[in-house]
Amino acid sequence: MTSRSARNALVALVAATTLLTGAAGCGGGSGGAPPVAATLTPTVSDGVQVFDVIGQVDQTFSAGELVASPGTIRVDFSVVKGSAPHNFVIETIPGASTKILRAGESQSITFTVSEPGRYPVVCTLHQGMTATLVIR
């Protein structure tokens, strides 16, 4: 290989690597897709499935999915210090909503879900602050 063709091959390799790294979302820049939030499974206390969920400074929930079985569910929702106010609302399930909480506040809600499915969770104050309750 000549030095010119070797240099062209190296330039092409660097360009391809840079392109693939950017497409993979590496580097932690703010222009990529949001990070994948955790999936939570509940602890069980006296037959009640319990989730601890936090409203965070970056306007996300601490979990992207809450995976439970049909039955009674309790969500212990809190808002981290230094955060804007948040709430936790599942509009399609009666009783599955907190009031708007300020930083440092918390509230527990208990509700029952009998049908398997995917139930959207939102903060009504921040568009895009979402999660999903998955009942299996």
CATH homologous superfamily, domain 38-135? Cupredoxins -  blue copper proteins (2.60.40.420)
Mean pLDDT, the chain, whole residue set: 83
Answer yes or no: is pLDDT of 39 > 60: yes
Long-range own/partner contacts, residues 113-119 (CB < 8 A, 24 or more apart): 113/68, 113/70, 113/71, 113/73, 114/70, 114/71, 115/70, 116/70, 119/90, 119/92, 119/93
Instruction: Read off the pTM.
Output: 0.74
Domain boundaries, the chain: 1-33, 38-135
Q: Is 86 buried (19+), middle (13-18) or exposed (0-12) by CB count in 10 A?
A: buried
What pLDDT, in 10s, does the model give residues 5-38?
Answer: 544 544 444 344 333 333 333 333 444 555 567 9
Give the pLDDT of residue 24. Answer: 39
What pLDDT, in 10s, does the model give residues 95-135?
Answer: 999 999 999 999 999 999 999 999 999 999 999 999 999 99
